[in-house]
Amino acid sequence: MKPKFEPNAKYQPKEFSFKSKKKIKDILANYPSNQARSAIMPLLDLAQREVAAVGAKEKKPYGGWIPRAAMDEIANIVGQPPIKVYEVATFYSMYNLAPVGKYLVQFCTTTPCWLCGSTKILEAAEAHLNIKMGESTKDGLFTLMEVECLGACVNGPMVQINDDYYEDLTPENIVSVLESLAAGKKPTVGSQTKRKGSMAITGPTSLEAEAKKAGVV
């Protein structure tokens, strides 16, 4: 579950302004001018990414999140009362409303992943980072978060770290993913067992000729 929105918390900055005015203009251009409130969602995303871009270079916390000031600014841009933005931002789990680590590790714990051993993956990650679910590491690098199904059930168990999926996890390879992220390297995205896409582990069971032709086997 994502952290609660605390509009008056100490970590909330007093002011927020978007870096890229052009991106705002581009987003607003996607919608009719009398339906500007449709732009709330992409603008929230933009705010989160801009915070992340700054955080990656400067001070803690490192990750992307949306301060209240940003929501008020968005309300201003689209000409809506702030509550309309709060409603949207609190509804979706992908908008972080409190500071998170540079790498937000979202654990899928829904049934298919859970059956495939997501609990063990989680325990391994918790032991490695020495934090519990919902907490962040002191260096501001990692935050662990529990989420519902992310739709990669075939390759479960899996986690989403920022924008990327890491699939077919084992207690060992989740640790190596986290280690290489901490070292500033970019681990392989997708299946950690070199599986192609969502193909069966034993190789293709149908459309074999096509798979060969495409060179995936």
By CB under 8 A, residue 13 contacts another protein:
no
What residue spans of the chain are helical by DSSP H?
21-29, 40-57, 68-78, 82-91, 111-115, 118-129, 171-182, 208-213
Nearer to another protein, 90 or 109 (CB): 90
From candidates 90, 109, 137, 162, binder to another protein by CB under 8 A: 90
Order of strands, edge to edge, in the sheet holding 164-167?
142-147, 103-108, 159-161, 164-167, 190-191
Nearest to 108 by CA among 60, 157, 75: 157
Residue 18 binding another protein, by CB under 8 A: no
State which of residues 19, 84, 120, 196 lies at the interface with another protein (CB under 8 A): 84
**Is 8 near another protein (CB under 8 A)?**
yes
The window from 84-92, 122-130, 168-176, 198-206 that contacts another protein (CB under 8 A) reads 84-92
Residues in the interface with another protein (CB under 8 A) total: 15
CB of 52 to another protein, least distance (A): 23
Contacts (Cβ under 8 Å, ≥6 apart) of 4: 97, 98
Verify binding: residue 11, another protein, rule CB under 8 A.
Answer: no
Question: Considering only CA atoms, which of 145, 166, 147 is closest in space to residue 155?
Answer: 166
* CA 80 to the chain's CA centroid: 27
Is 68 among the residues that bind another protein (CB under 8 A)?
yes
Residues binding another protein (CB under 8 A): 5, 7-8, 37, 68, 79-84, 86-87, 90-91
